[in-house]
Every structure is written in structure tokens, then in C-alpha cells.
Amino acid sequence: MKKIGVLALQGAVDEHIQMIESVGALPFKVKRSSDLDGLDGLVLPGGESTTMRKIMKRYDLMEPIRAFSKEGKAIFGTCAGLVLLSKEIEGGEESLGLIDATAIRNGFGRQKESFEAELNVEAFGESAFEAIFIRAPYLIEPSNEVAVLATVENRIVAAKQTNILVTAFHPELTNDNRWMNYFLEKMV
């Protein structure tokens, strides 16, 4: 059984744990670098990216997460996780630098501009994915190494690069576990 950690500092931790269980994997909460030991993959949940980064720095998690990725272990970032995993964040904030694209924080607007949209994802076949966007970011300027998996209004909202998967939306807030299944089957 695959062991998947969820960075449990802030954000939608419990929802990701339920999603991991729904695809038959074993979830673990990650609060310290030692919690990464023995994991097959890691999820960086949605939440508030600035707060999460500050806590990650306070608990010395930035370098251990980078090392986890360099070992070839898969990481899935949703919403704030996408921002933290990007190579750059517009405005110059520090990131983990693990997917070669720039993140635009709150790219679709503030809380009141939150929305839902049907996404056509080639890997999911004919059935659209109903995505929930809350203060959603998006990616720009991806390198040739980044595979774009979904867009909204020509903005990149899902992508992958080697062992990194990111979504600008919150699949954990739906009953549709296809993104977590994709992460486990294609990346972990």
C-alpha cells in the first residue's frame, strides 16, 4: 500500500486525507522533516501560501521537501501548493522551485470571484471534471519540460513536470477522486 503524506501545517489537510483513503492509499500527516521518511508521495494542500511558507521555513521544511523531490518522490500541490511548488511567484516571494513555471497568486481574483468550471482533461476521457476555484492561482511561462493538463480561459490550471503535479483548484473538495488516482497511478 502506498504511503502518501499531507503537509499538515495549514489548509485542507483532512479533505486530502479522505481523498487519499478513497483511492486505497495510506495517508500520513507531515509536520516535521522526519515525517517524510518512508513516504511514497507528498501532498501540499490548498490554504494560504504565504502562511504555509512561513511555517515551512520556521520548521525547516523547505530543503527537506526539495530533497524529497530530488529523490524522485512525487509531490502533488493543490491551489496554494501550486504556488509553493512553482519555480517563481509573481512578486518575488520564495518558493520551492520544483515546477518550471511562474505562479500568479489569486490570478482569477479574490474570494468573491471564486467559481466552478468543467475541465476537459485528456487523461480522464470524455467525462469532464467539475473543478472548484477559490482565490485560485494559475501558471504562466512554463518551460518545455512542463506538460499542461488543463486550462481555463487560456490560463494553465493543471500541469505536471516529472514527479510534480499541480492544480490551481481544489479536487479534494469534490467527491471525484480522479486527480488523486492520477497522482498515485501515473506519478507515485
Residue in 63, 79, 93, 130 annotated catalytic: 79
What cell does 79 get?
A: 491551489
16 is catalytic: no
Residue in 93, 116, 172, 185 annotated catalytic: 172
71 is catalytic: no
Residue in 63, 88, 90, 170 annotated catalytic: 170
63 is catalytic: no
Give the catalytic positions in this structure. Answer: 79, 170, 172
